Structure 1
Amino acid sequence: MEPSRFLDCLAADFARLRAVATTDPTAAVPSCPGWSVADLTRHVGEVYLHKTLAIRHGAEPEPWPPAELATEEPLVLLDRAHAALLAEFAAHDPNDPAGSWYKPGQTVGFWIRRMAQETVIHRIDAELGVRAPVAPIPDDLAVDGVDELLRVFVEYSAVEWADYFNEILADSPGWTYALRTDGGAWSVRTGPGLFSVTDGVADTADVTVTGPPAALLRWAWGRELPGESSGVSVQGAPEALALLRRCIVTATS
């Protein structure tokens, strides 16, 4: 996806997130245990400001968030942070350098993609919190989101922060996973000290997950409600599936 496409998706999902967040700020967010919609709104604002400063100063600010943000009204913070983020994006070329925890992605373009994906997931959280219908997710954004989750979050984190994954991966005897959707397919291999992702799928795998792009994205990020009919088919060993889920949760926590 081109940066301009990510920005278009970010704009649409931000508008949806903000509209939904005003309906019931006190509602509990089932996909973010312990958070209300107001907490979610504040979190997104803090994330936007954090990335704004990472671009502006060339390094991610630490520590974060500053204490004064806790006293700002969540929607005011969200609007202020969103405006600052868009201004920073507009002031730079996507290839310009920016501070990032992801060593292969030290560019503004990395954050344009990341913030588009951050926003779509959190607008789903807001929708689930207020029991609003989940708005459609464009296929291209959903396919990219699954790819980003598997490669940028889990595969990279399993190497960069191996201590968090070694105990989990030690339980894998060499399980393989196939994830398929329209426009995307991934093979995942796990084993002691190993989480690798490649394009395409083998003929056989210990776990096979298939579904439409938006449904697969929600499944991968754990944004499904219990008992919800998502359209995702999951076949394979429960213990292998549980290990994959543990890796995803560890990488995204």
Structure 2
Amino acid sequence: MDYLTVLEADYRRLVQVTSGDLTARVPTCPEWTVDDLVNHVAHVYLHKAAVMRLNAMPRPWPPAPTGETPSQLLQRGYAEMSAEFVARAGESAAATWFEPDQTVGFWRRRMAQETVIHRIDAELAMGVPSEPIPADLALDGIDEVLRIMLAWASRRWPDKFTAELSKGDGSVLVIDRWLVSWNSSGVSISDEGTEIGDGDVSGSAEAVLRWLWRRADDSAVQLAGDSAKVRQMQELLRVATQ
């Protein structure tokens, strides 16, 4: 997948949507205004640019205020991050929080997925129609959420997930084409989701991705089977994506 192309498209949409009233509340991040959202994305971009330059997590962080507005900071952050991406091959070394993948390619993927979710936040906040998510990007996003943010993280930082994992010994859900099982040891993922599970979450790739990130409610997807297991999964996802 060409992550840099989809990243640029969603960044430009984010800039376009947030050119108006930055005091609007973000319904999917209730503690934030649009101004806060823009500031957050700007600092995420600046952080990743610094990570690639240093091949290490920058300390201290965040940097001291510069007097730039959030919109100016977003523009600079994107420019600095993009320059680092263009200058480096995907397999080049870059520090990440995901131990199995310490490459620039990890951040290309993560920033493409981060940006599409936050431009949806901006669209919801500003009350404008939401642009569609390309199917390949949505499928890739589902894979990232399930394999990395949920399955890997549940075993890397089990304390964060213990309360919900303890409720699910032997639980299995089919989410789109992925088979998701969990017990007190953590979450496991298989891409052979034809097995019958306790429940099923289906729909278009875009709808499922939005549901996983809590950017769409249950009406966006088709839910079947044990509703209690679906709710357990939603709680696990809440921990994984917060």
What TM-score range do you get, normalising by the shorter chain? over 0.9
* Offset from partner CA, 1:182-237 (integer Å, 9 cap, x none): xxx1000011122000112143111100101111110111002x6x852x101122
- 2:151 pairs with 1:155: yes
Q: Which amino acid aligns with 1:22?
A: S
1:192 paired residue number: 184
Mapped contact 1:165–1:193 kept (Cα < 8 A): no
In structure 2, stretches of 5+ residues that fail to align are none
- Give, as a single letter, the amino acid of the residue that structure 1 aligns with 2:238: V
Partners of 1:64 and 1:234 in 2: CA distance: 41
Q: Report what 1:244 is aligned to.
A: 233
Q: Residue 68 of structure 1: SS of its match in structure 2?
A: coil
Paired position in structure 2 for 1:234: 223
> 2:200–2:225: 8 Å Cα contact kept in structure 1?
yes
* Conserved 8 A contact 1:186-1:197: yes
Alignment correspondent of 2:85 = 89
Given the alignment of the two structures, is residue 21 of structure 1 paired with residue 13 of structure 2, yes or no?
no
In 1, Cα distance between the equivalents of 2:31 and 2:60?
23
Partner of 1:223: 215
The C-alpha deviation readout for 1:146-182, integer Å capped at 9, x for no partner, is 00000111111111111111221011131101011xx
* Residue 121 in structure 1 maps to residue 117 in structure 2: yes
Is the Cα–Cα contact under 8 Å of residues 143 and 213 in structure 1 kept in the other structure?
A: yes
Say whether residues 1:137 and 2:133 are aligned partners.
yes
Give the Cα separation in 2 of the matches to 1:138 and 1:24: 28
Match of 1:170 among 166, 170, 179: 166
Paired amino acid for 2:72? V
2:51 aligned residue: 54
Unaligned runs of 5+ in 1: none
Q: Is the CA contact (8 Å cut-off) linking 2:179 and 2:195 kept in structure 1?
A: no
Q: Which residue of 2 aligns with 1:213?
A: 205
Residue 168 of structure 1 aligns to a residue whose secondary structure is helix
Deviation of the 1:66 alpha carbon: 2.5
| Off by >3 Å, runs of 4+ in structure 1 | none
The residue that corresponds to 1:34 in the other structure is 31
| Percent of residue pairs identical | 43
Say if 2:9 is the partner of 1:12: yes
- CA distance, structure 2, for counterparts of residue 72 and residue 193 of structure 1: 46
Aligned residue type for 1:248: L
**What is the CA deviation profile of residues 61-114 of structure 1, one whole-angstrom value per residue up to 9, with x for unaligned ones?**
234223426x53110000000000000011111110001000111000110111
Q: Quote how far apart the aligned CAs of 1:121 are.
A: 0.3
Please state how far the C-alpha of 1:239 moved relative to its aligned partner.
2.1
Instruction: Provide TM-score, normalisation by structure 2.
Output: 0.96
Computed over aligned residues only, the root mean square deviation of the Cα atoms, in angstroms, reads: 1.4
Taking structure 1 as the reference length, the TM-score comes to 0.92
